[in-house]
Amino acid sequence: MFLRLLFLAVILVIIVLCSSCLFLLVKILYVRRKYRHLPCPKKRSFIWGHAIDFAEVAKKGGHFSMLIVKWQKTYGTVFVMHVFDMATVFCLEPSVVREMLINTKTSKPYELYHVFQTVFGKRLVGSGLFSELDNERWEEKRKMFNPAFKRGYLIDLMYQYNNSVDELITYLKPKADGKTEILMAEEFNKVAMDILAKVAFGLNDLNVISNSDAPHCKASNQILAGIMAQMRNPLIRFDPREASRNTVRKTQDAIDLIRKMGKNCILERLADMNEGRDYPKDILTHILQASSGLKGNFGLEQMIDEFVTFFVAGQETTAQLMSFTYEIVGRHPDIYKKLQAEVDAVIGDNDSITYDNTCKLEYMNLVLKEVLRWAPPAAGIQRTVDRDFVVNGYKIPAGAHVALNHYALGRDERFWDNPEKFDPERFREEHNRRLYAYFPFSLGPRVCIGQHFAMIEAKVIIAKLLQKFHFTLVPGVELEYSAEVTLKPKHRTPLYLTPRKTSMD
pLDDT at res. 7: 63
Rounded CA-CA distance 383/503 in Å is 47
pLDDT in tens, 354-385: 999 999 999 999 999 999 999 998 888 999 99
Please classify residue 505 by burial: count the beta carbons closer than 10 Å to its beta carbon, then call 0-12 exposed, 13-18 middle and 19+ buried. Answer: exposed
Phi-psi sector, 393: left (phi>0), alpha (psi -120 to 50), beta: left
- DSSP summary character for residue 427: G
For residues 124 and 257, is the Cβ–Cβ distance under 8 A?
A: no
Any idea where the domains of the chain sit in the sequence? 124-211+230-365+446-505
Q: Give the CA distances from residue 224 to residues 139, 261, 368, 493, in Å, rounded to whole numbers and listed in that order.
A: 26, 17, 24, 19
* Residue of 455, 131, 387, 147 whose CA lies nearest to 286: 147
pLDDT at res. 3: 65
Whole-number percent of the chain with pLDDT over 90: 50
pLDDT at res. 165: 95
* Residue of 196, 167, 355 whose CA lies nearest to 265: 196
Please list, in sequence order, all residues whose beta carbon lies within 8 angstroms of the beta carbon of residue 315, skipping any fewer than 6 positions away. 189, 192, 193, 195, 196, 220
For 124-211+230-365+446-505, the fitting CATH number among 3.40.50.620, 3.40.50.1470, 1.10.357.140, 1.10.630.10 is 1.10.630.10
Enumerate the β-bridge partners of residue 499: 469
Enumerate the β-bridge partners of residue 381: 404
Low-confidence ranges of the chain (pLDDT < 50): 503-504
* Residue of 142, 124, 144 whose CA lies nearest to 308: 124
